[in-house]
């Protein structure tokens, strides 16, 4: 049966709308790439591009950022305060910043994601190319899960871990409708391009405010961090899929925490509503053989900015306990 004129018109309008959304999304991505180019080295690791930034001299210190982030979170001002003591190696995680999505996880209709272990293995290969040996590994938020996986995969070569607001434990409940939507097939194909194309700057700023709450982001952070990179279609898909699939991997990793016999420094704010202290840090301290907890009363999810002296002190403590300083 031939389609009626009204149906054809509706289909044509839908096609035009989809085309406009995709065109605008592409334009926004091109602008993000131009405004926030790589600030480090682009490495080829088994056909996957990994973005790494290395500064300073001293014992090796690897920094791994959290969800929706990139290594600029550490180069904002923290790396400059570490480079006189450490050789600081910062990576963009897969799909974030300028590091590629793993080939098996790419595509509009894909809902799989690189596990913390797969991400750790990729970054370890990049670290090997950079000549990294016996590092202290710091992970923030989702990056904390990757740091834990790093230690599990290379227990003898990982001298110490520093876990800042780290996701480490099983949690109850879901992650909210936003992650359910963007992590779905429909969300990946239709909703994410619309967000990329039309997300208002005020909404981006509101999200940054929520991440830092109850503190405020430091002056200049919002214009420096490159939030537009996280709004690219591929990065949004990778982030949604990584977060949505994290819980089963955490359940598997928890059983291996007792193997992490290296020194561990855990730094966590009591006002963190994104990765709650009681659910994660408090429980983690009962599972690690050699961990020290720094509790930050009233501090939210971003101690590397809001309580930076304490984070720097935890790094120094980890290095000293590991015999690196």
pLDDT for residue 10 is more than 70: no
Q: Distance (Å, rounded) from C-alpha 104 to C-alpha 288?
A: 33
Q: Decide: helix, strand or coil at residue 101.
A: coil
Q: Distance (Å, rounded) from C-alpha 123 to C-alpha 53?
A: 12
CATH of 39-167+199-321, one of 3.40.718.10, 2.60.370.10, 3.40.50.1820, 3.20.20.150: 3.40.50.1820
pLDDT for residue 8 is more than 80: no
More confident residue, 15 or 244: 244
How crowded is residue 290: how many other Cβ atoms within 10 Å of its Cβ? 12
What integer pLDDT is reported at residue 176 of this predicted model?
65
233 to each of 27, 28, 49, 188, 209, how far by Cα in Å? 12, 10, 17, 8, 22
Confidence of residue 1 (pLDDT cuts 50, 70, 90): very low
| Lookup: tokens for 176 | 């909210």
Q: Is 47 left (phi over 0), alpha (psi -120 to 50) or beta?
A: left
Give the model confidence (pLDDT) of 147-180 as tens digits. 999 999 999 999 999 999 999 999 987 766 676 7
pLDDT for residue 85 is more than 70: yes
Give the model confidence (pLDDT) of 245-277 as tens digits. 999 999 999 999 999 999 999 999 999 999 999
More confident residue, 317 or 180: 317
Give the model confidence (pLDDT) of 212-251 as tens digits. 999 999 999 999 999 999 999 999 989 989 998 999 999 9
| pTM as predicted | 0.93
**What is the rounded average pLDDT for all residues in the chain?**
91
Q: Is 285 left (phi over 0), alpha (psi -120 to 50) or beta?
A: alpha
Give the DSSP letter string of 198-254: H--HHHHHHHHHHHHTTS-PPTTHHHHTTHHHHTSHHHHHHHHHHHHTHHHHHHHHH
Q: Where are the domains of the chain?
A: 7-36, 39-167+199-321
Angle between helices 246-254 and 142-153 (to 10 degrees): 40
Q: Distance (Å, rounded) from C-alpha 282 to C-alpha 290?
A: 14
In the chain, % of residues over pLDDT 90: 76
């Amino acid at each position: 049966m031939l389609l009626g004129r009204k149906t054809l018109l509706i289909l044509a309008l839908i096609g035009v709308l989809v085309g406009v959304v995709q065109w605008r999304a592409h334009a926004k991505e091109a602008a993000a790439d131009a405004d926030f180019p790589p600030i480090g080295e682009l490495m080829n690791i088994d056909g996957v591009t990994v973005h790494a930034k290395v500064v300073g001299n001293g014992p090796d210190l690897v920094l791994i950022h959290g969800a929706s982030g990139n290594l600029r979170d550490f180069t904002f001002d923290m790396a400059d305060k570490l480079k006189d003591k450490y050789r600081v190696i910062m990576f963009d995680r897969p799909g974030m910043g300028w590091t590629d999505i793993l080939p098996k996880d790419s595509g509009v209709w894909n809902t799989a994601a690189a596990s913390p272990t797969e991400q750790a293995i990729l970054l370890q290969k990049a670290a090997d190319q950079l000549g990294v040996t016996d590092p202290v590994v710091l992970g923030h938020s989702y990056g904390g899960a990757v740091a834990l996986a790093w230690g599990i995969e290379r227990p003898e070569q990982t001298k110490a871990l520093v876990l800042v607001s780290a996701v480490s434990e099983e949690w109850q409940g879901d992650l909210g409708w936003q992650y359910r939507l963007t992590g779905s097939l429909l969300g990946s194909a239709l909703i994410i391009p619309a967000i990329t194309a039309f997300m208002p700057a005020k909404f981006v700023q509101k999200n940054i405010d929520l991440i830092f709450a109850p503190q405020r982001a430091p002056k200049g952070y919002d214009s420096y961090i490159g939030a537009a990179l996280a709004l690219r279609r591929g990065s949004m898909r990778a982030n949604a899929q990584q977060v949505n699939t994290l819980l089963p991997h955490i359940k598997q990793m928890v059983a291996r925490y007792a193997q992490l016999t290296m020194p561990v420094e855990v730094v966590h704010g009591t006002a963190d509503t994104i990765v709650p202290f009681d659910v994660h840090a408090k429980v983690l301290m009962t599972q690690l053989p050699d961990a020290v907890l720094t509790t930050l009363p009233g501090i939210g999810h971003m101690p590397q900015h809001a309580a930076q002296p304490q984070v720097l002190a935890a790094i120094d403590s980890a290095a000293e306990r590991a015999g690196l300083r």
